[in-house]
Amino acid sequence: MMSPQWRETFKLWAQTAEYAQHLQNARERIENALVRSSQPYVSYSGGKDSTVMMHLVLQQAPDATVWHWYYGKYFVPEDIEAQVIAIAESMNAMLAVETSERYDIEKRDAMNIWGHEFFTRVAPRMVAEGYDRAFIGIRAEESLRRKRRVRARRNTTAIQETWPLEDWRWQDVWAYIVQHNLPYLEMYDAQSELVGYQHSRFSTFFDPQFIHIGTDTVDNVLHWRWRNVD
Amino acid sequence: MSAVSFKLTCTLAAPVSLNHPWIHLDGIINHLRMMRRLGRDYYSLSTKGYWQPSVAQHDKFQQVLAYRQELPFASISHFEPADAPLKTVQYFKRFEANDFPTKRKKIDIASGHYRNWMMRTVYVPAHTVSFYGRGQIGRVRQLLGDLTHVGNDTRVGWGQLVGWELEELEREQDRSIVWEGIAQRPIPVRMLKHYTDSVRLAWKAPYWERSNIEECAPPGTEVELA
């Protein structure tokens, strides 16, 4: 549970002019994108950024499809996945969940299945189905790679992308969650005690792709219950 | 020689780096035994499997700690202060070209001696770490003479010890497997009559070995031994 001090901090941040500007920018981006699209979808991971973005988009387009990729029980524990689904359902999202059977076959040896499946199977099918706009919750602040992607306005598929939170900072995201009393994954609070709210992020657990940045030690200590999935 | 219950208290000179929420006493004891037995060869063992002692060696192995069935009388770690918060730090080694004493024009920083790296460590800034066990206290004391550090990444100084103290306990004070109905270490559920929680965990050393994983009551669970 978020401490009262942090909650108060984010409430105060929600009163700043910077936050108000970022919120207005996000709403305008969504509005402009919806005017120019007939069949949008929201890309939703379950993390804090996509939760906030989903809430913002559904206020203007309640019928938009919310698309979610499930990484399988070896990378996302089943009870966390259940929370991810519950958060989307609490916002009455029209949720479409996809996954790959390769996760159960390759288990923790699976590498970049999402990338392969999304670009070769899912995205072409979505184009064929008429989707013409993707709302994606990336922020330039998150990494240099994302900063460059935002600056270059680079789409990753044939579907035009909109990044409503592109100029948001981590404080804006938490301020929005606190201000609107949005549900979020419980793991954020435990992780934030260790690394701080500015560094806490939701990604796959015990994923060999992220060992080089040291996520395995944090997972081993914080998420030990999910270390040995049957 | 009969087994004695004991408490091992290690005084720390440096925070303990963790790669798991707790450290196992039997893991430490077995590590020290392997060091004594194999010497420098301990560092040349195959990474593809683990050294399986013969039956005779296994019997000798078991002479240090007492066992209940296959379960060692050895608790997990207890840090003091008990509310010492977990912390994390990210640190790196980076090649610095300035004043590098060679005429080589190119230095490989992707591999080899000058390889750059960065890692994240979770650590606990505790004053002491204690363990409870039961076994041949003289042999345990002898082995602990080789113990300089505890925890993960000890080669960079984490978990360095100032010293340690071994205290004999009465049998009824033994806290190495269960204490006041609470599991003090991972216990396979097949060895329990009753338990309130279970998780798949390694329950004996080596704790990184997959074949040692099974459904266990984790430490802190209400249990009753079968």
Can you give the three-state secondary structure of A56-91, one letter per residue? HHHHHCCCCEEEEECCCCCCCCHHHHHHHHHHHHHC
State the pLDDT confidence band at B39, using cuts at 50, 70 and 90: confident
Q: Number of C-alpha atoms within 13 angstroms, CB side, residue A64?
A: 29
Chain A residues touching residue B213 (CB < 8 angstroms): 228
Q: Residue B122 and residue A213: Cβ atoms within 8 Å?
A: no
Contact B161, B13 (CB under 8 A): yes
pLDDT at A207: 86
| Preferred mutation among B18, B119, B214 to probe A, highest tally of A CBs within 10 A | B119
Q: How many CB atoms are located within 10 Å of the residue B67 CB? A: 16
Spatial distance between the Cα atoms of B172 and B166, rounded to a whole number of angstroms: 17
Residue among A213, A218, A230 whose CB faces B88 most closely: A218
Q: Cα angle vertex A26, ends A57, A163, to 5°?
A: 75
Answer left, alpha or beta for residue B99, where phi above 0 means left and psi between -120 and 50 means alpha.
Answer: left
Q: Residue B20 and residue A220: Cβ atoms within 8 Å?
A: yes
The residues on A that touch B, with CB distances below 8 Å, are: 193-195, 213-215, 217-218, 220-222, 224-225, 227-230
pLDDT (tens digit, 9 = 90+) per residue, B104-160? Answer: 778 888 888 888 888 889 999 999 999 999 999 999 999 999 999 999 999 889 999
Q: Residue B18 and residue A221: Cβ atoms within 8 Å?
A: yes
Contact B17, B121 (CB under 8 A): yes
Chain A nearest-CA distance from B200, in A, is 6
Could you tell me which chain B residue has the CA closest to the CA of A199?
Answer: B88
State the pLDDT confidence band at B56, using cuts at 50, 70 and 90: low
Q: Write the CA distances from B58 to A60, B25, B55, B70, integer angstroms.
A: 69, 18, 5, 11
| Preferred mutation among A217, A218, A227 to probe B, highest tally of B CBs within 10 A | A217
Contact A41, A134 (CB under 8 A): yes
Could you tell me which chain A residue has the CA closest to the CA of B116?
Answer: A212
Is A112 in a helix, a strand, or coil?
Answer: coil
For residue B48, pLDDT over 60 is answered with: yes
pLDDT (tens digit, 9 = 90+) per residue, A32-80? Answer: 999 999 999 999 999 999 999 999 999 999 999 999 999 999 999 999 9
Spatial distance between the Cα atoms of B70 and A31, rounded to a whole number of angstroms: 66
Chain A nearest-CA distance from B203, in A, is 12
pLDDT (tens digit, 9 = 90+) per residue, B182-220? Answer: 999 999 999 999 999 999 999 998 898 888 999 999 999
Chain B residues touching residue A228 (CB < 8 angstroms): 199-202, 213
pLDDT at B181: 95
Element (H, E) at B7: strand B4-12
Answer yes or no: pTM beyond 0.80: yes
For residue A211, pLDDT over 80 is answered with: no
Tell which residue, A213, A227, A204, has the closest CA to residue A103: A204
User: C-alpha dihedral over B138, B139, B141, B146, to 10 degrees?
Assistant: 160
Contact B225, B193 (CB under 8 A): yes
